[in-house]
Amino acid sequence: MTDPVHLHLVSDSTGETVNACARACLVQFRDIEPIEHVWSLVRSAKQMDKVLNGIRATPGPVLFTVMRDDLRTKLVEACQEMNVPCIPVLDPVMHALAAHFGVPITGQPGLQHAMDSHYFERIDAMNYALSHDDGQAARQLKEADVILVGVSRTSKTPTCIYLANRGIKAANVPFVPGIPLPTELFHVKRALVVGLTKDPAQLVQVRRQRVNAEAGGMADSEYVDLNSVRREVAEARKLFAKHDWPVIDVTRRSIEETAATILSHFAQHRTEAQ
């Protein structure tokens, strides 16, 4: 039995950045699943002492995002004494940008979470996404930045939530055979409308899982019949083509990848609208 591998993530803020960096890197090492120790909001010498005691108890590589020079020095020197790697994940980017812009780094922790105008834009976008989920409040679609249209189980809702975290007002409208889409959808002027589609076989698989998890199921319904789902997807694609909406196949895409593609379309859409 091999010894456990420990990884320490140290941040003077919420830890989201260093966690995201760790996730992005660790997926490249298939056989490594370290025990993660997350140390967030580390902003005093006393708190850093607690972190160092934890590292001494379970030695392992350290990734950190700490801005205060005294705390950084304390962490780096202690890690050198313990002979464990200590990696400042943001330093290369910050120093490159500082050199390019010709301005100093402020060294203030948590600035990305400041309650500025962008923060309130994200809150507003989140409220919009929640109140315009699954075709709700169609009369207000004209206020959307992005509208997602797709058959059931094409990840419309989580994609809208992800976009809202980027400050994008996103609504979603389900495509259901035999049920007309809201007329407001076809009269929006500022919003980018995007069609989402998925491989029918995978749709059936995902839908069956949902049906099995719900009381009363519809195991024999058209909702999970492969031929019916194929017709449903084909009908949705015809609609997207008719209105010249960009189409994204989410079959092998994560929510983040789908959202990134939508944001690319949205940037182009805004440029063309100017």
Residue 13 marked as a ligand binder: no
117-273: CATH superfamily: P-loop containing nucleotide triphosphate hydrolases (3.40.50.300)
Series of mean pLDDT values for 10-residue runs along the chain (274 residues): 83 88 87 90 94 96 93 96 94 82 71 62 90 93 97 95 93 95 95 97 92 64 92 97 97 93 92 81
Q: Which CATH class is domain 6-112?
A: alpha beta
Write down the pLDDT at residue 219: 58
**Pair of tokens at residue 242:** 């008719």
- According to DSSP, the residues that pair with 179 across neighbouring strands are 176
pLDDT at 96: 84
Establish whether 152 is an annotated binding residue.
yes
151 is in an annotated binding site: yes
Give the per-residue pLDDT at 35. 92
Annotated ligand binding at 206? The verdict is: no
pLDDT of 113 reads 53
**What pLDDT score does 186 carry?**
96
- Whether residue 155 is annotated as binding a ligand: the answer is yes
How confident is the model at residue 46, as a pLDDT? 95
The answer to whether 157 is a known ligand-binding residue is yes
Q: Does 54 belong to an annotated binding site?
A: no
Q: What is the predicted pLDDT for the residue at 212?
A: 79
Three-class SS string for 45-113? HHHHHHHHHHHHHCCCCEEEECCCHHHHHHHHHHHHHHCCCEEECCHHHHHHHHHHHCCCCCCCCCHHH
